[in-house]
Structure 1
Amino acid sequence: MTADEWAVRLAGGGRIAEPVAIVVAHADDETLFAGSLLGRADDALLIHVTDSAPRDMTDARRLGFATRVDYAAARAIEVDAALVALAARPRRIGHGIADQDAVRRIAAIADRLVDELAGVALVATHAYEGGHPDHDAVACAVRLAVDRLDPPPALVEFPSYHLRGDERIWAEFWPDAAHPEHVRPLNAAEAARIEAALAAHASQAGVFEDWRPRVERWRAAPDHDFAAPPPPGACLYDRFGWAITGDRWRQHAAAAIASVRGTRGRGGR
């Protein structure tokens, strides 16, 4: 089954019996962007690449945590509760990388994923869209891993968020005529489960505020050039004052691609 055929199938809303993997950057990404899939997949592997706690303690202190480890532990407990709300029982793996550090570990993440993704029929992960450096790092690492597998699983992506003008756009793809999206409204039961799962991610209520997923969007992952700016052009996280900027992200990504493939060049096939 091709990646586009898988995207059509995911948008169809039926149960998925084949082994699938959902690879996300942070706790809550699984609920915000793949919650319905997790509830419909009978043989799912859920991989969180980061521990969801930045080295910068600003967020942790604001939420009352004394250490980064305490904040990461609380985020992990929130995932436990969210999966119960989603009626999802995936196998789970955590890479434990600090939030905002994933781009510095792309090659190592890809190496791990080669083993972890072996035998799955489908991998669903973030789009390359410049919304969060960890989302983009996961997209790059997954592509590097999938391209080393024989046979390779189908690679499908979901949108997280990106910058459009001066606005953060949630869960919409930057258009790509060669890779059509397949859209499905969530039914009332799915929306209610996701609402309950997001309530479990209580520490992040200020991040997604009133936004709630109301549709699923899936498409075959394009052959992204991770050494170039993301399709929207600008990176949302350049506005946050973080140590990692879009320019630095692309430098790290290009070096990782070179180390994995032995040559500098495209992040796709």
Structure 2
Amino acid sequence: MGAKSLVRGGHKPVAIVEMTSYHLRDSRCVTGEFLATNGASPPELAVELSLEEQEIKKKMIECYRSQRLVLEAYPVKAERFRLAPEYDFSYPPHPGKLWYECLRWPITGERWRQLAVEAVTQCDEAAWA
């Protein structure tokens, strides 16, 4: 949505590339895989890491001690990327509870979506200013 605002404001279109994150599927946290989209999912690029690159990635992850429990669930053998599909952040990414809601973090999916819509609106307004 923000990228569209830039184009409407006279800027060249940009490709938005996304990486995998985490999501809830079948009552468990899934990492290293894209969440299925409504409709056709864009093709993804999987980059297999060498043993040396895997060791570097492990060391990088170890630097984030406060995030250790989250990051240790991520695979280190590959990185996955794809062109981001069009998202409407006013809707949840999938039906049911979101993974971070299972963790009792102080933000709900509903509140996150409200904040996302506000941010997109501000980007749109700034592009037209």
Give the TM-score, by structure 2 length.
Answer: 0.76
Q: 1:261 to 1:246 in 2, by over 3 A?
A: same
Misfit runs of 4+, over 6 Å: none
Aligned to 1:153: 14
Q: How is 1:99-138 mapped onto 2 (pairs within 5 angstroms)? A: none
5+ residue gaps, structure 2, are none
CA distance in 2 between counterparts of 1:203 and 1:246 reads 23
- The one-letter code sitting in structure 1 at the alignment partner of 2:17 is V
* Residues 1:167 and 2:28 are matched in the alignment: yes
Alignment match of 1:245 (pick from 102, 108, 113): 108
The alignment covers a number of residue pairs equal to 119
C-alpha displacement of 1:210? 5.8
Q: 1:189 to 1:225 in 2, by over 3 A?
A: same
CA distance in 2 between counterparts of 1:190 and 1:227 reads 37
Over aligned residues, Cα RMSD in angstroms? 2.2
Is the 1:162–1:236 Cα contact (8 Å) retained in structure 2? yes
Is the 2:47–2:79 Cα contact (8 Å) retained in structure 1? yes
Give the TM-score, by structure 1 length.
Answer: 0.40
Is the 1:163–1:232 Cα contact (8 Å) retained in structure 2? no
Q: 1:151 to 1:175 in 2, by over 3 A?
A: same
Q: Which moved more, 1:147-156 or 1:218-227?
A: 147-156
Is the 1:163–1:169 Cα contact (8 Å) retained in structure 2? yes
Is the 2:32–2:74 Cα contact (8 Å) retained in structure 1? no
Alignment match of 1:234 (pick from 97, 111, 114): 97
Question: Aligned with 2:16: secondary structure?
Answer: strand
Higher relative contact order (CA 8 A, sep 6+): 2
- The one-letter code sitting in structure 2 at the alignment partner of 1:155 is I
Is the 1:179–1:221 Cα contact (8 Å) retained in structure 2? yes
- The one-letter code sitting in structure 2 at the alignment partner of 1:163 is L
CA distance in 2 between counterparts of 1:153 and 1:255 reads 22
Alignment match of 1:261 (pick from 120, 124, 129): 124
Among all aligned residue pairs of Structure 1 and Structure 2, give the percentage whose two residues are the same amino acid: 35
Q: 1:158 to 1:244 in 2, by over 3 A?
A: same
Question: Aligned with 2:91: secondary structure?
Answer: coil
- Measured against aligned partners, the alpha-carbon deviations of 1:207-252 in whole angstroms (never above 9, x if no partner) come to 3336432111111111101001114653111122233101111222
5+ residue gaps, structure 1, are 1-142, 263-269
Question: Aligned with 1:154: secondary structure?
Answer: coil
Aligned to 1:63: none
Is the 2:24–2:98 Cα contact (8 Å) retained in structure 1? yes
Alignment match of 1:183 (pick from 36, 46, 51): 46
